[in-house]
Structure 1
Amino acid sequence: MDLFRARSRPLTGSRTRTRATRSGRARVLRLALPLTAAVCSVALAGGCSDSDSSGPSGPSTKPSGTTEQAAPVSGNALQADYQKVIKDVLPSVVQIQASSELGSGIVYDDKGHIVTNAHVVGDEKTFKVTTSNSETELTATLVYAYPDQDLAVIKLDKVPERLKAARFADSSKVEVGQITLAMGSPLGLSSSVTQGIVSATGRTVSENREGGGTGATIANMVQTSAAINPGNSGGALVDLDAKVIGIPTLAATDPNIGGGAVPGIGFAIPSSMVTTVADQVIKEGKVTDSGRAALGITGRTVLGSSYEPDGVAVVDVADGGAAQKAGIRSGDIITKFGGTRITTMTSLAEELAPHKPGDKVSVSYVRNGAEKTVEVTLGEI
């Protein structure tokens, strides 16, 4: 299975309130999603926001004899809930245009800070921003991009009146089955909304650097069935309490149908990680405490006798890093991490992602034909 970054190229078209443009070709990004990641529930790497979250309002129950029976939910009532959420949140979702790419963003505070994906901003420093309630193009400047988590913060050069900041949920409380709405600018169609549910939590997904990807391995992603299309990157995945539970970032594609999107398989960076990163960037101008564990090596995938990936060769070790302190040296080939077989750099990153700095993990490696196992106290990225 492949994944594409959910952004698109802006193209010319008639200006309307929704700023509809003809769709550009989506760049395809190949990503590894091993079965181990698909079934593993991992701890959030980083702190949580102070806001609390509750699931969407579901069917009420009432006693019937000695049992409880779910009362039917009015379609009109559910529709009203959807419309209320959209009315509350959509003004906080913006369209971001770089010179050759287009994505979405979320207004983070009343000072004009906007959070989005690092792959949306790329290497650029200035952007054009359009809000949902105005056709006026605003300008914004990059504050900081953090590719390791595929997140970035930009700031409006001039803050318009009535700018509305979104509310963020505690994503550790998100549950499978919650109704979700994805808001953004798919294919340049600003202020678009799609609907689905939380399909799974705790997914670990790695994106390649091909086609401009950040190469990030992101833990605890929220999987959703809400449609995620090019241009949705950096937008909002919200619950029926009108709180952001994640930033839509990636969607699955099927290489057997020419890279076409697979309906209902999208991934969002959890909101608690978003607030952890954004708060540090706004206060310090950078990420000062990532909460992400590091082994402290530079490595590359090596092939075995059958020309299949067979481990990670240590090219260099960071001075004073976790690997060096444990006695791992350049030239060693890492074959296991925490008892799990390691064959590629991606598999090593995915095993590392759920851990926190200070965790103790066994690492097996081969040196001069002999296998050794050491306990490593993980450092921080």
Structure 2
Amino acid sequence: MDAFRTPTRARTTRARLYVPLAVFACSAALLAGCSSGSGSSPAKKGTTTQAAVPVAADGLQDDYLKVIKDVLPSVVQIQASSDLGSGVVYDDNGHIVTNAHVVGDEKTFKVTTANNEDEQTATLVYAYPEQDLAVIKLDKVPDGLRAASFGDSSKVEVGQIVLAMGSPLGLSSSVTQGIVSATGRTVSEGSSGGGTGATIANMVQTSAAINPGNSGGALVDLNGKVIGIPTLAASDPSLGGGTAPGIGFAIPASMVTKVADQIIKDGKVTDSGRAALGITGRTVVDDDYRAAGVAVVEVEDGGAADKAGIAPGDIITGLGDTGITTITSLSEALAADKPGAKSAVTYTRDGSEKTVDVTLGEQ
């Protein structure tokens, strides 16, 4: 697993990959009714002393407890044949949204809800690996199933307190807390080990612990709104390839609802909102074995590149003002654009550099 390439572009590991679980013990001092040693005044007979709890802290704890009580029943555990992940109840009809890498290539699943230990069965509706999202549907809707409420991810702010809910390492109904540490991240998921290889724009970065099994769960604000679906954890080679503590990523709620609504209505994604060139490409290297561009292997008939005259054998080296050295950098540059936008594509053909304006298509 790799560390960040730039402050805003990271290669990451899927949050569901299994790692050893470390259990840490902690101690706390019970202040109520305790003396503080020498120099303290004895308590009067018949009375007790109790440490004062700051009003602000007490109120924050109440907020936490209310959010957990309201939202946790909407977070489920999803068991595929060999993998475990999380999901969020999307509506009262039993639709559950999760990550595409959680469902993989499977069609049926076992689901455990927070308020019912009996396993439920569910069937895949549609998986959309390009955005690492999927929707499954419970075969029978159990009593008490509660749909989550999704928030407006455009209003998410750095520093906002959030809770991550899911089933890390199989520990169902677990909650971790942190803050939103950045927004607008473009992140590329690895394709090895069952990953989708998706490049996802506008992700929410959080310090809330995102562990294996959290994938597909809920990142929730203190208003009880789901603002994202935890999906990835950054990795750090200095940790032996382990995940970097406190750097996780969630797909923003706006994209989750856009994709899920289409899947539920049409059985597939009809409007991805993702820009595309309409090519199949591969990374090429120069004489020093350094990544030097993307060679066009195939061109989609009638696609954006085809209409602009780009052909197999051309080597793309730039998109707009962004230099292109790898297929990942091309995917990340496209993720920042929208279908229908015009962008200048720089490429080489037979050793000559050319630039052409391309009207981007849709992935």
Q: For this structure pair, what is the TM-score category when the shorter chain's length is used for normalisation? A: 0.7 to 0.9
Q: CA deviation at 1:259?
A: 2.3
* C-alpha contact 1:301 1:310 (8 A) present in aligned 2: yes
* C-alpha contact 2:97 2:134 (8 A) present in aligned 1: yes
Gaps of 5+ in 1: 11-21, 25-71
Once residues 65 and 202 of structure 2 are traced to their aligned partners in structure 1, the CA distance between those partners, rounded to angstroms, is: 29
Note the aligned Cα RMSD (angstroms): 1.5
3-state SS, counterpart of residue 280 of structure 1:
helix
Offset from partner CA, 1:91-139 (integer Å, 9 cap, x none): 0000000000000000000000000000000000000000011110000
1:267 and 2:249 are equivalent in the alignment: yes
Structure with higher RCO (Cα < 8 A, 6+ apart)? 1
Q: Share of identical aligned residues, percent?
A: 77
1:288 and 2:262 are equivalent in the alignment: no
Partner residue, 2:12: 3
* C-alpha contact 1:9 1:101 (8 A) present in aligned 2: no
* C-alpha contact 2:115 2:144 (8 A) present in aligned 1: no
Amino acid paired to 1:124: E
* C-alpha contact 2:205 2:250 (8 A) present in aligned 1: yes
Offset from partner CA, 1:206-235 (integer Å, 9 cap, x none): 112111110100000000000000000000
Q: CA deviation at 1:151?
A: 0.2
Q: CA deviation at 1:331?
A: 0.5
3-state SS, counterpart of residue 330 of structure 2:
helix
1:161 and 2:143 are equivalent in the alignment: yes
3-state SS, counterpart of residue 281 of structure 1:
helix
Q: CA deviation at 1:170?
A: 1.1
3-state SS, counterpart of residue 74 of structure 1:
helix
Gaps of 5+ in 2: 4-10, 23-53
Partner residue, 1:123: 105
Q: CA deviation at 1:261?
A: 2.3
Matches within 5 A, 1:7-18: 7-8=16-17
User: How many residue pairs align between the two structures?
Assistant: 323
Once residues 180 and 194 of structure 2 are traced to their aligned partners in structure 1, the CA distance between those partners, rounded to angstroms, is: 28
Partner residue, 2:290: 308
Q: CA deviation at 1:258?
A: 2.0
3-state SS, counterpart of residue 237 of structure 1:
strand
> Which has the greater radius of gyration?
2
Partner residue, 1:101: 83
Partner residue, 2:212: 230
Offset from partner CA, 1:4-55 (integer Å, 9 cap, x none): 2111569xxxxxxxxxxx959xxxxxxxxxxxxxxxxxxxxxxxxxxxxxxx
Q: CA deviation at 1:73?
A: 5.7
* C-alpha contact 2:186 2:203 (8 A) present in aligned 1: yes
Residue among 136, 157, 175 paired with 1:175:
157
Amino acid paired to 1:186: P
Q: CA deviation at 1:173?
A: 1.0
